[in-house]
């Protein structure tokens, strides 16, 4: 499905339809903190966002962005792989996560050799489905145009083709090229 809306904004638009104040959400790839702030704004004043990134720079940038928006009390930041999210999220919340966002690739403005990898991303996607609430949603923004991104995009595409517990919709950029980003949206059946 092609959309004129930039894919990061499309992902937020899809997520917004599923969230209410007080819900629980995950930002599986913090990056510069834009999705973490977005999720916290949707869940305010009483929800909780669990956010993951392996890079200290991403955690610090996101923490600053949260303070700037007065949202820091709604977010728990983990400098950890998204593949380990089930270990960090309280067990009483398993099955109650309304939304999870993945924005894959590398941290903009940093070392482009530090990227998300198929093995940890697929493990995190499996975990995300297990953590998902009824009527939950997962968005996965994939960037095949950078080194390693094409391998991750293929692995995710293959994994998605085998999923039976979620429905999958795929959105493409307005300009379709082999390296254009792809947005996958998973909703619990």
pLDDT of residue 114: 86
Secondary structure in 3-state letters for the chain: CECCCCHHHHHHHHHHCCCCCCCEEEECCCCCCHHHHHHHHHHCCCCEEEEEECCHHHHHHHHHHHHHCCCHHHEEEEECCHHHHHHHCCHHHCCCEEEEEEECCECCCCCCCCECCHHHHHHHHHHHHHHEEEEEEEEEEECCCCCCHHHHHHHHHHHHHCCCCEEEEEEECCCCCCCCCEEEEEEEC
* Threshold 0.85, pTM exceeds: yes
pLDDT of residue 107: 83
pLDDT of residue 89: 97
Pick the CATH number of 7-188 from 3.40.50.300, 3.40.50.150, 3.20.20.480, 3.30.300.90: 3.40.50.150
- pLDDT, tens digit only, all 189 positions of the chain: 655 789 999 999 999 999 999 999 999 999 999 999 999 999 999 999 999 999 999 999 999 999 999 999 999 999 999 999 999 999 999 999 999 999 999 888 888 888 899 999 999 999 999 999 999 999 999 999 888 899 999 999 999 999 999 999 999 987 778 789 999 999 987
pLDDT of residue 176: 75
pLDDT of residue 1: 62
């Amino acid at each position: 499905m092609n959309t004129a809306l930039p894919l990061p904004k499309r992902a937020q638009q899809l997520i917004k339809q599923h969230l209410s104040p007080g819900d629980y959400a995950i930002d599986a790839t913090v990056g510069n903190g834009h999705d973490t702030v977005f999720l916290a704004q949707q869940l305010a004043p009483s929800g909780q966002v669990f956010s993951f990134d392996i890079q200290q720079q991403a955690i610090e940038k996101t923490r600053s962005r949260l303070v700037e928006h007065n949202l820091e009390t709604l977010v728990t930041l983990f400098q950890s792989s998204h593949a380990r999210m089930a270990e960090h999220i309280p067990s009483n919340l398993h099955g109650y996560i309304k939304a999870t966002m993945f924005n894959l690739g590398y941290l903009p403005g940093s070392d482009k050799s530090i990227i998300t990898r198929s093995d940890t991303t697929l493990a995190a996607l499996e975990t995300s489905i297990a953590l998902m609430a009824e009527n939950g949603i997962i968005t996965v923004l994939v960037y095949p145009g950078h080194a390693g991104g094409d391998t991750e995009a293929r692995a995710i595409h293959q994994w998605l083709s085998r999923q039976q517990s979620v429905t999958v919709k795929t959105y493409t950029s307005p300009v379709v090229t082999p390296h254009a980003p792809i947005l996958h949206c998973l909703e619990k059946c």
